[in-house]
Structure 1
Amino acid sequence: MPDLSTNSPSVPSDVIELQEKFTTSTAKNQLQMLPQLLDAGLPGIEILMAWLQQQRGSKPTTVTGAVYQALYQSELPPARDYLERELPTGMIALQSSRGIDYTNLQKLLAQQKFEAADKLTTEKLCELAGVDAVKRKWIYFTEVEQLPAIDLHTIDALWSFHSEGKFGFSIQREMWVGMGKNWDKLWVKLGWKNGNNWTRYPGSFTWDLTAPRGHLPLSNQLRGVRVMSSLLSHPAWEEVGS
């Protein structure tokens, strides 16, 4: 990994200048500069790899998520080699209190395969709820409170990290609380309802980052408000603000 704190002859001066701005800018400006670094080719990729390496061990942010995604989607071999060598399971700790494996969920989200990730999220929630939930393929609202906070945080962090902070349970809860826990307003804001008409699954949902904030995951939306209410009221979210 090159030391980009000095003027390496392999890196054009304008790219070095961009790197210096990137490391000292606000998150908003860093996101705006990301396309410029990608357009710079391999020197830009090297800058992003070096920057991401420096962020390891720090709390993941919207910018680290965007940089990770940019490297993951890059067609340049050094980017993919770096991620496979240094971050084989991504930047989110895949913690589970019940031995649930979230590796495939991380991969689907990294690949931006949001519809498949949404289905797998439901499967993981069923695994957490128990054998009966796995058999029926959905969870009762009464089972939600027993879901471990550690696992909910892992699932939520994966969704948020790989969506530039746009998707996840905590985002949905923040919106719900901000609307005075008014479900009718929330459904419309999430893009789950248009007037009196519920969004039809799966074709009418938006499975990419053009979706409304909080649009995903669906969280058993088709099963009604009680599951959603239990999920957004889970004690896990008290730890990240009310």
Structure 2
Amino acid sequence: MKIPIKQIFREFYILINRLSLVEKVIYGLFSIALLRAVYLTILNLSKKAIDYILANYQMIFAIFSGTLAILIFVLGFYLYISRARYKQNSLDGSSIDDDMNEPRNIYTEGNYNENININGDQIEIYGDVININQDFSEIAKEIRELITELKNQGYSEEDAKTEIATELAEEARKKPKVRKKLFMWKKSFSTNTKKTNDETEVAREVVTSATAYSHTSSKDFTEVVSGYYQKLDELLQARQWKEADLETAKIIYVISHKELPKNSRYRTYLKNYFGSEYIKVLTKKDLNNINKLWLKYSNGRFGFSVQKRIWKRLGGGSDTTYNSPEIQNKFGDEVGWRKEGDWVYYSDINYWRTAPSGHLPICLMLNSGKSERCNIDFQILEVIVGRIS
């Protein structure tokens, strides 16, 4: 709590003015005596401290020197250990680089497992090095290409998947970093929520998830994850629903603000202000691309089209004059924006995968502060319902 300094001085000034002349004189003498006592006390303590230091400076210097020597020793030991670790890591890295720089024989026949080598952060197949730290969309593309190569060599699709999954699982058992990546991919992209510690099972699910990307045409996929949508794609992949909700609002604001007519009064509004006019000028392509990402990573649980389906089923339309408060309340109840007959607070928005269908996104429709109950701008929802495919 901040203390109003000006108010304190003002009150003090008023108090002094209320005193009689005799009381003011007594108060002044008392203040002078108090200040003198404080001054003499500080002076006396300072003198004693200086006398003590002068009388025992040798002991004080010895203690200081000993403490400094200990600190220097500890720092030196720490630097020595750090240098040793760095040197070991450098040697390990050099060993991997040397292995990678050695000439490799390319086999076109025989067991495919003999032609696959996974080192550290990379998967190398026929000289094609794949970094496991890159975006999963790229990993998925490479896995699909590998499956195609194996099929061309006579493998069935299932056998090809098994070969690749076996190699991934084998390396995961040997290298913690590969194992960590493998389980992260499984958690982020697999539709199977069953927990398991079996590397082979997890690798199989990852390969299956990678092949599922082929069901989306490369053109549509590029449209969705490039440009404005890259960060949203990453957030939704990581199941960071709250951040993705805010990013959705940000994307729509940025794109729509550019599309607004130059004489539009909405251009002068505060940043991140939303109104139905913003959704009206947003292209259907952008609106549908954002919706695709929400549908994809929530397994059809969240997205504008999910909200549209619920809204229409309850009797809602895209005309404000047609939609009654009763429909709005029913919609809020079903998607979890209302509980026990009242709208929830912002802090009660359920940013979990278990939230009711249609619960997200919500931020771009909010017309209230973070400390208030959710006040939904249903005009925005109505425009979305009228424009989403």
Tell me the TM-score normalised to structure 2 length: 0.42
Q: How many residues align?
A: 182
Partners of 2:274 and 2:193 in 1: CA distance: 41
What are the Cα deviations for residues 134-193 of structure 1, in whole angstroms up to 9, with x where unaligned?
843122212312211111111111111111211000000011111111222111111111
Alignment of 1:1-242 (within 5 A): 5-6=158-159, 34-35=192-193, 39=196, 41-59=198-216, 93-95=221-223, 100-130=227-257, 132=267, 135-181=270-316, 182-201=327-346, 203-223=347-367, 224-234=377-387, 236-237=388-389
Distance 1:153 1:211, change over 3 A: same
Q: Percent identity?
A: 19
1:115 alignment partner, SS class? helix
Q: CA deviation at 1:127?
A: 0.9
1:145 alignment partner, SS class? helix
Partners of 1:212 and 1:56 in 2: CA distance: 26
Per mean C-alpha deviation after superposition, the further-off stretch among 187-196 and 154-163 is: 187-196
Residue ranges of structure 1 left out of the alignment (5+ in a row): 12-29, 61-86, 238-242
Partners of 1:92 and 1:46 in 2: CA distance: 27
Partners of 1:229 and 1:125 in 2: CA distance: 16
Q: CA deviation at 1:40?
A: 5.7
Partners of 1:43 and 1:134 in 2: CA distance: 55
1:112 alignment partner, SS class? coil
Q: Which has the higher contact order (CA 8 A, sep 6+)?
A: 1
Partners of 1:5 and 1:221 in 2: CA distance: 46
Residue ranges of structure 2 left out of the alignment (5+ in a row): 1-142, 148-154, 167-189, 259-266, 317-326, 368-376
Tell me the TM-score normalised to structure 1 length: 0.65
User: Which 4+ residue blocks in structure 1 deviate beyond 6 angstroms?
Assistant: none
**1:126–1:133 CA contact under 8 A, matched in 2:** no
- Counterpart residue identity of residue 123, structure 1: K
Distance 1:168 1:35, change over 3 A: closer
Distance 1:197 1:123, change over 3 A: same
